[in-house]
């Protein structure tokens, strides 16, 4: 049984383990040329063993290989990479940006707060 991942689950569990779960999940989907584009805590599920699984692929894009680009503005604003917000072309690196935001939130315990965008 998978349960939604939320801010109540961040602690006392180690954030490094969760970050590793998400990293391995992103590596797996990127190997299949899929870009999630809406990675956020609400789209993560925890299985019975405590492992996080990436879920909700409704905004994902397929056939995005290494270096390929997309330009559709999708995702959750707090987790969007700057290039998406600026409506520029982007690569699957936007998923890694979202992971960085999630790790930042886990470290500081500030779930849902926006990060300032560099101009």
Which of the residues are catalytic? 38
pTM: 0.81
At residue 77, does pLDDT exceed 60? yes
Chain segment 17-76, per-residue pLDDT in tens: 999 999 999 999 999 999 999 999 999 999 888 899 999 999 999 988 887 888 888 999
Cα-flanking dihedrals φ and ψ of residue 113, to 5°? Answer: -85, 140
Residue 47 Ramachandran class (φ > 0 left, ψ -120 to 50 alpha, else beta) = beta
d(CA 80, CA 62): 18
Q: DSSP state, 3?
A: E
Instruction: Give the domains, in start order, of the chain with CATH numbers.
Output: 3-108 (1.10.510.10)
């Amino acid at each position: 049984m998978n349960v939604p991942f939320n801010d109540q689950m961040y602690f006392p569990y180690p954030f490094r383990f969760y970050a590793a779960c998400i990293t391995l999940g992103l590596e797996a989907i990127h190997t299949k040329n899929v870009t999630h584009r809406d990675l956020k805590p609400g789209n993560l599920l925890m299985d019975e063993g405590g492992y996080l699984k990436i879920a909700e692929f409704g905004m994902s894009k397929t056939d995005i290989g290494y270096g390929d680009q997309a330009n559709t503005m999708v995702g959750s604003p707090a987790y969007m990479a700057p290039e998406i917000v600026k409506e520029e072309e982007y690569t699957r690196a936007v998923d890694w940006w979202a992971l960085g935001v999630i790790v930042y939130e886990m470290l500081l315990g500030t779930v849902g707060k926006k990060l300032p965008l560099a101009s």
